[in-house]
Amino acid sequence: MKTTRRDFLQTSCSAFTLAGCGLLIEQKSLADHPIPAGGYPLVFPPEFTGGVLEAKVVNQEIWPGFPTTALALNGSLPGPTIRVKKGDHFKARVQNSLGESLVLHWHGILAPSEMDGNPRDAVPSGGFYDVEFPVNQRAGTYWYHAHTDKLTGKQVYQGLAGFFIVEDPAEDSLALPKGEFDVPLLIQDRVSNPGHTLAYSPMMDDMVLGYLGDATTVNGVPNATLSVTRSLYRFRLLNGSNARVFRIALGDNAPFKLIANDAGLLAAPIEVTSIFLAPGNRAEILVDFTSFPHGSTVELKSLAFTGDTTMGSSQGTARTLMRFVGQHIGNGGTAPSTLVPFAPHDLSAVKRTRQFMITMPGGGHGGGHGGGMSADLINGLVYEMNRTDFMVPFGEIEIWEFQNMAEHIHPMHPHGALFQVVSRSTSPTLPPEDTGWKDTILVRPGETVRTLVKFDSHEGAFVLHCHNLEHEDGGMMLNFDVTPSTPPIGGPQLDIRHEAEEIVVIAPHDATAYRLEGAPHVGHEALWTPVTVSPVHSEAGMEFRIPAGGTMRFFRLIKP
């Protein structure tokens, strides 16, 4: 099945030929739909102005003349761009009109755990929930997308994603390109089919490799073209693909300047000719078109690279992403020599190292979380929504080490914190795309990547997962709780164990003067309620066995 399908896709790959004035025409073999010279003009999603973000099934044309069922937010695909300033209070109501469950995750945004987009918090069709939190973090290009258990791949592929841009007036002094010269580009690959639809129909091998397409859209536009003046441009690149990794470059191999990674500006621009951009990653680059001849065309493309080691995977194949066409006019522009100072975490302050072993499931195949073939595993575990896999003390610096012993590329993404990359086992120095602040890290087969992370924004329940969305839907995700770094002073201490069906809370025998209370999150006094389960006395103490499917995930002893 795998070979047949990959062979089929290879026969549908685009062939590019030159056609007058340096413009390009793409010929599709899979559908009788000639692309006009120069492609389609790039468009930009509307700005979110507050109120409701409604997710709804719509009928739209991605390829003109070919209507398709898609999922849109406020009628837009991609979703509206959310733009806030550092210190603003973000507020929205998420309305689910899909016909299936939904929760949105604010990727890279340090939101409280109860508003972060944990799959546990999905609402059914017809439901809604309110999101409200201050945005107190670095300016940067972030994003939001569906994060529904077993439906993330489908919902993101069909449209539920958009930019979440944080601005800081302090950047104004850097004289970076603004307005029409500050361009967000959401890049996604698509699977060709005769009707040019967004039908999401992964086969069994796609649950292992990821849903890899042979066509590309930018801001929802196929074969996109942007007319550029003779000026300096800031491009905000976002890889919103389900599984495709891009090696970003310009078609003429010209250098460009990397100024930001996932979570904001670097200390200084880095001149490069290519960068890797994994699913979930962002990068901001400066491209200088000041000497770009009128009418000439240059591609934004993905270079070939060695991807998965699995036979039949199309990961790493070269492709054109979009094109820039030069215009007569322009206003110049100069890239700054310095940007924002970078303060690294202190390695000497590391409290512990956590290892995350990525392995293939036993026997290579088997029952996956999402059905069909299983995704790879993190520490031998398949995601269970009501199981807590580990606890992280608030405010302590840790090394998180990812060891990829499987055959596939894995972009790993923890919620709730940003991190810094310390080392890659495959390189003595870090590539430019690993510098600065990150929230998603690409781990190649056979590679070990070490990162420094500190959860110092919010306590509560978060997840760690692979951002290959088919892997995530297949169960490649763990739950963890960020807990107070020091226990409460003055009272007896609890021993808490998380089992598959129960949470076992053990209090000392002499704690009879105290009442056990539980809460879904910490930091909200009104959420603490008494535990009604009666304890069983054992040698260990008073054991409270609480069903794992309930809302209580944190516990304390308090005097009535």
The structure tokens listed for 383 are 């995601």
Q: Give CA separation, 536 vs 28, 449, 500, in Å.
A: 69, 45, 19
Give dist(CA 30, CA 50) in Å, integer: 41
Give dist(CA 167, CA 85) in Å, integer: 5
Q: What is the mean pLDDT of the chain?
A: 87
Greatest CA separation found in the chain?
87
Q: Are 135 and 87 in contact (CB under 8 A)?
A: yes
Give dist(CA 273, CA 431) in Å, integer: 12
- Name which of 55-59, 81-85, 268-272, 405-409 the model is least confident about: 405-409
Q: Quick one: average pLDDT of 82-90? A: 96
pLDDT at 35: 52
Percent of the chain with pLDDT strictly greater than 70: 88
Q: Which amino acid is at 511?
A: A
pLDDT at 89: 94
Report residue 334's pLDDT band, with 50, 70 and 90 as the boundaries: confident
Task: Please name every residue paired with 226 in a beta bridge, in sequence order, or none if there are none.
Answer: 324
- Name which of 46-55, 139-148, 322-331 the model is least confident about: 322-331
Cα 204 to chain center, whole Å? Answer: 23
pLDDT at 396: 94
pLDDT at 140: 97
Give dist(CA 248, CA 305) in Å, integer: 11
pTM of the model: 0.82
Q: Are 393 and 484 in contact (CB under 8 A)?
A: yes
pLDDT at 485: 63
- What pLDDT digit, counting tens, does each position of 292-321 carry? 888 889 999 999 998 777 767 889 999 999
pLDDT at 494: 81
Question: What is the 3-state secondary structure of 290-323?
Answer: CCCCCCCEEEEEECCCCCCCCCCCCCCCCEEEEE
- Does residue 90 surpass a pLDDT of 70? yes
- What pLDDT digit, counting tens, does each position of 464-513 carry? 999 999 999 999 999 999 988 655 555 677 887 777 678 888 888 888 88
Report residue 17's pLDDT band, with 50, 70 and 90 as the boundaries: very low
Domains of the chain and any CATH numbers: 2-9+173-326 (2.60.40.420), 52-172 (2.60.40.420), 347-483 (2.60.40.420), 495-558 (no CATH)
pLDDT at 26: 32
Give dist(CA 204, CA 104) in Å, integer: 26
Give dist(CA 457, CA 419) in Å, integer: 13
Range list of H helices, 158-222:
204-209
- What pLDDT digit, counting tens, does each position of 128-171 carry? 999 999 999 999 999 999 999 999 999 999 999 999 999 998 88
Q: Are 77 and 159 in contact (CB under 8 A)?
A: yes
pLDDT at 21: 30
Report residue 454's pLDDT band, with 50, 70 and 90 as the boundaries: very high
- What pLDDT digit, counting tens, does each position of 61-72 carry? 999 999 999 999
Q: Are 317 and 215 in contact (CB under 8 A)?
A: no
pLDDT at 14: 29
- Does residue 402 surpass a pLDDT of 50? yes
